[in-house]
């Protein structure tokens, strides 16, 4: 049974990764429906929150149906991180998560995200101050280390647990690897089997099928897995893994009508949260994933991407449903 503070996540929880420009409330809504047990906001800049930057403040939007939900923060200044934790606590999430894993230059070059893997004492101090700044459980997401020579996650995990974090998610790559190559779960397993560790350990990296989730659960003993890219346009990954864990059987993939309905719901949420223009525009990155297994889909994808209004998007979705249903009839 995985518990973070008083949050009971069940036997083998499935977490939705916080992905910048992806894990917004509309995307989280379809993933929650798909079976995600714990979700996070997109990562939020501590400096942006303190300056009351509109984009950072908007990312604090959370909704009751999303619970349990964590707000993820990143930053390079210890005082700012503690202050941003206080601000984030006021909107009443279920937990605060610290990002020590983001490898992109714009973040790491500012001394934030994965950059802290080069300064473990600062990482520990920053985490300690965030823990002190909130009454909520604090969790961390990080990587194995900065590069091949500094894969010190076993020691780092102990130190972070000692100053009060209540769960740890480990992405099985170094910062230098970015998202390339295969994730190394052996070290994630070593953290989990360390007798000193008593908090939940979640693994992240390359989980893209029910079979892999169960294989890694059995091989490395993790308390749950975090899923990122595999959920984009495919929120059914969560229910498929749950079914496979429970029964050992694979669910059939979603029917076309389910794909169309999920895309439509995603558009509706997107418009509700971002307004008609931006809501339609920002959905464009998702269509190919929702329909990626359909043959000869490219012309419809082009139409969806070019459609300027929700009404036109809905009309194209109806057309897709009609055309492919006739093909499969």
Residues 197 and 191: their CA atoms lie apart, in Å, by: 7
Q: Is 31 a catalytic residue?
A: no
Residues 6+ apart with CB under 8 A from 180: 173
SS3 of the chain: the string is CCEECCEECCCCCEEECCCCCCCCHHHHHHHHHHCCCEEECCCEEHHHHHCCCHHHHHCCCCCHHHCCEEEEEECCCHHHHHHHHHHHHCCCCCEEEEEECCCCHHHHCCCCHHHHHHCHHHHHHHHHHHHHHCCCCEEEEEECCCCHHHCCHHHHHHHHHHCCCCEEEEECCCCCCCCCCCCCCHHHHHHHHCCCCCCCEEEECCCCCHHHHHHHHHHHCCCEEEECHHHCCCCCHHHHHHHHHHHCCCCCCCCHHHHHHHHHHHHHHHHHHHCHHHHHHHHHHCHHHHCCCCCCCHHHHHHHHHCCCHHHHHHHHHHHHHHHHHHHC
User: From the candidates 4, 102, 188, 313, which is the catalytic residue?
Assistant: 102
If we measure between CA atoms, which residue out of 47, 130, 56 comes closest to residue 86?
Answer: 130
Q: What positions carry a catalytic annotation? A: 102
């Amino acid at each position: 049974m995985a518990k973070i503070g008083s949050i009971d996540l069940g036997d083998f929880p499935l977490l939705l990764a916080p992905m910048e420009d992806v894990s917004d409330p509309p995307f989280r809504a379809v993933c929650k429906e798909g079976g995600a047990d714990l979700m996070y906001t997109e990562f939020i800049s501590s400096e942006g929150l303190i300056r009351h930057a509109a984009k950072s403040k908007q990312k604090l939007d959370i909704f009751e149906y999303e619970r349990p939900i964590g707000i993820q923060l990143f930053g390079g200044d210890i005082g700012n991180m503690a202050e941003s934790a206080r601000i984030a606590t006021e909107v009443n999430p279920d937990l605060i998560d610290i990002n020590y894993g983001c490898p992109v230059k714009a973040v790491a070059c500012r001394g934030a995200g994965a950059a802290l893997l080069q300064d473990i004492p600062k990482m520990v101090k920053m985490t300690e101050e965030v823990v002190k700044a909130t009454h909520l459980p604090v969790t961390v997401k990080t990587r194995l280390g900065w590069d091949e020579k500094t894969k010190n996650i076993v020691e780092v995990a102990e130190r972070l647990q000692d100053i009060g974090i209540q769960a740890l998610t480990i992405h099985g790559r170094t910062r230098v690897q970015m998202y390339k190559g295969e994730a190394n779960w052996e070290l994630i397993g070593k953290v989990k089997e360390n007798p000193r560790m008593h908090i939940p350990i979640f693994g992240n990296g390359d989980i893209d099928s029910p079979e892999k989730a169960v294989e890694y659960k059995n091989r490395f003993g993790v308390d749950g897995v975090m899923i990122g890219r595999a959920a984009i346009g495919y929120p059914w990954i969560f229910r498929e893994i749950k079914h496979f864990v429970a029964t050992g059987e694979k669910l059939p993939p979603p029917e076309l009508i389910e794909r169309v309905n999920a895309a439509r719901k995603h558009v509706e949420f997107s418009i509700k949260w971002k307004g008609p223009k931006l809501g339609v525009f920002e959905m464009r990155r998702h269509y190919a994933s929702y329909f990626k297994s359909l043959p000869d889909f490219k012309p419809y994808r082009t139409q969806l991407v070019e459609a300027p209004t929700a009404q036109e998007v809905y009309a194209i979705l109806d057309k897709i449903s009609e055309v492919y249903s006739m093909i499969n009839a």
